[in-house]
Amino acid sequence: MIINHPLLGPRDSQEFTYLGDASLIERPDWQAADAVDQFYDYLYLRDNPAGLHRELWYHEQGDRSWLVVTRNTLTHDITSVELARDVAKAKGRST
């Protein structure tokens, strides 16, 4: 596969390391009353769609960017690649 890195252009996916669903960005609040339940849901449960999937790839043999790749799990077609940092910020994550 080829991942079109937003900063570096197209790169073979072999340069990257895969983590999983991009929802892993949305780490729950540890002080929530039901924090354990939220963390359980966050860490263990997956939509695992047969179709479009937003997922985290790490450019391990490159610039060490974490990326959010939108890829179709049925065809492997990639429709967008974003810097995970930008995605995280857009979701309101900060410090």
Partner 1 sequence: MRYSGFQVLKQALSGHKGWGRAWRDPEPQSQYDIVIVGGGGHGLATAYYLARSFAKARVAVIEKGWIGGGNVGRNTTIIRSNYLLDGNEPFYEYSMKLWEGLEQDFNFNAMVSQRGVLNLCHTDAQRDAFRRRANGMRLNGVDAELLDAEGVRKMAPFLNFDSARFPIKGGLLQPRGGTVRHDAVAWGYARGADSRGVDIIQNCEVVGFRIENGICLGVETTRGYIAAAKVGVAVAGSSGAVMAKAGMRLPIESHVLQAFVSEGLKPIIPGVITYGAGHFYVSQSDKGGLVFGGDIDGYNSYAQRGNLPVVEDVCEGGMSLMPMIGRAKLLRMWGGIMDMSMDGSPIIDKTDIGGLYFNGGWCYGGFKATPASGMCFAHLLATDTPHPTATAYRFDRFRKGLMIDEKGMGAQPNLH
Partner 2 sequence: MSQINRIAGGLIDRQKTLEFQFDGKTYQGHPGDTLASALLANGVRLMGRSFKYHRPRGPLTAGSEEPNAIVALRAGARQEPNARATVAELYDGLTARSQNHIGRLSFDLLAVNDLLSPFFAAGFYYKTFMWPKAFWEKLYEPIIRRAAGLGSLSGQPDPDLYDKGFLHCDLLIIGAGPAGLAAALTAGRSGADVILADEDFVLGGRLNSETYRLDEATGADWARAAVAELASLPNVRLMARTTVLGAFDHGIYGALERVADHLPSPAAGTPRQILWRIYTKRSLLCAGAIERPIAFENNDRPGIMLGSALRSYANRWGAAVGQEVAIFTNNDEGHSTARDLLAKGLRIAAVIDSRADAPKSTAYEVLAGAVVTNTAGRLGLRSVTVGLPNGQSRRIDCQALGVSGGWNPNVHLTCHQRGRPSWDAGLAAFVPGANLPMGMSVAGAAMGQMSTTAALASGAAAAVACLADLGVSASLPKLPATEDSPLRLTPLFHVPGKGRAWLDQQNDVTVKDVKLAHQEGYISVEHLKRYTTLGMATDQGKTSNIGGLAVMAEMTGKSIPETGTTMFRPPYTPVSIAAFAGRASGVDFRPTRLTPSHHWAAEQGAVFVEVGMWLRAQWFPRAGETTWRQSVDREVLATRKSVGICDVTTLGKIDVQGTDAAEFLNRIYANAFGKLGVGKVRYGLMLREDGIAMDDGTTARLAEDHFVTTTTTANAVGVYRHLEFCRQCLWPDLDVQIISTTEAWAQYSIAGPNARKLLEKIVDPAFDISNAAFPYMGCGEITVCGGLRARLFRISFSGELAFELAVPTRYGDALMRRLVEDGREYDATVYGTEALGVMRIEKGHAAGNELNGTSTALNLGMGGMVSKKKDAIGSTLSEREGLNQPDALRLVGFRPVDPQHNFAAGSHLIGKDAEANAANDQGYLTSVAFSPSLGHSIGLGYLKNGAARTGEILRAVNPVQNAETLVEVVSAHFIDPEGERLRA
Q: Which residues bind partner 2 (CB under 8 A)?
A: 1-2, 12, 17, 19, 24-25, 27-28, 30-31, 35-36, 39-40, 43, 56, 58, 60, 64-66, 75-78, 83-85, 87-89, 93-95
Nearest distance in Å: CB 85, partner 1: 21
Nearest distance in Å: CB 8, partner 2: 15
By CB under 8 A, which span of 26-34, 50-58, 60-68, 81-89 interacts with partner 1? Answer: 50-58
Q: Position 58: which residue type?
A: Y
- Residue 20 binding partner per list partner 1, partner 2, none, with a CB distance cut-off of 5 to 8 Å that depends on partner kind: partner 1
C-beta separation of 58 from 68 below 8 A: no
Torsion angle defined by CA atoms of residues 81, 87, 88 and 91, in that order, rounded to the nearest 10 degrees? -150
Alpha-carbon distance of 86 to 32, in angstroms, equals 25
C-beta separation of 32 from 54 below 8 A: no
